[in-house]
Amino acid sequence: MKKVLLTGLTGAFLVVLFSFCAQSFAENSQDYYNEGVEYLKQGQNQNAVDSLQKAVELDPNYAEAYSALGAAYRAMDKYNEAIDACKKAINIVPDVADPYVTMGSAYYMLGKTQEAINACKKAIKLNPQMPEAYLGLANIYLASQDYQQARNNALKAKDLFEQKGIQEGVREAEDLLRNIP
């Protein structure tokens, strides 16, 4: 009888302990933002959205959190939500390139090619050293069959990725270049 009771208590303790460990330890908007970014890196996009939404609830002027929220929505193929979150980031801090790249990708996925091109070009204007913006633009031009522009932007992206030592980006740009007729 004591053994059964002890086993039951141990099981209950583990359930409580697991529930406690699964909870967020975030206490402020920065903590929720950091947690959301980590979830995003791990591909846990819904968890990222949940954490990032808490970050912006606590600090409605947290532009980086809105930008990351846009990226999380984009990763979940929720393009309109991604655009809305990016626009909020831009309204708070208009001179940051990241949300424009995410917005460009989302616009492209919605079939809004010119808006996508404009968003990527704006990102490049704000940060000419951002390879992701050139790569996004290269992909859009490739799909639009503007092969010269696709090649030029892919080469620029590859060069910038090489300068920054981001091998995954270099490979992505090289793959894109191989697909240009």
| Tokens, residue 131 | 């390879």
Residue 4: count of CB within 10 angstroms of its CB: 8
Model confidence pTM above 0.95: no
Q: How far apart are CA 90 and CA 172, in angstroms?
A: 27
104 close to 81: Cβ distance less than 8 angstroms:
no
Checking if the pLDDT of 17 tops 90, the result is no
Query: Which of 10-19, 24-33, 83-92, 99-108 comes out lowest in average pLDDT?
Result: 10-19
The pLDDT of residue 11 is 37
H or E element that contains 140: helix 131-143
At 158-177, the pLDDT tens digits run 999 999 999 999 999 999 99
More confident residue, 25 or 87: 87
Q: How far apart are CA 137 and CA 116, in angstroms?
A: 8
**10 burial type by CB count under 10 A (0-12 exposed, 13-18 middle, 19+ buried):** exposed
Task: Give mean pLDDT, residues 32-61.
Answer: 95
At 96-148, the pLDDT tens digits run 999 999 999 999 999 999 999 999 999 999 999 999 999 999 999 999 999 99
The pLDDT of residue 27 is 79
DSSP state of 129: T
The pLDDT of residue 25 is 52
More confident residue, 10 or 131: 131
Q: How far apart are CA 119 and CA 97, in angstroms?
A: 9
Task: Give mean pLDDT, residues 24-37.
Answer: 83
Checking if the pLDDT of 24 tops 70, the result is no
Pseudo-torsion of CA 120, 123, 128, 134, nearest 10°?
-20
Output the CA–CA distances (angstroms, integers) from residue 151 to 117, 120, 121, 181, in the order listed: 15, 16, 16, 10
The pLDDT of residue 8 is 38
Checking if the pLDDT of 57 tops 80, the result is yes
The pLDDT of residue 108 is 96
At 69-95, the pLDDT tens digits run 999 999 999 999 999 999 999 999 999
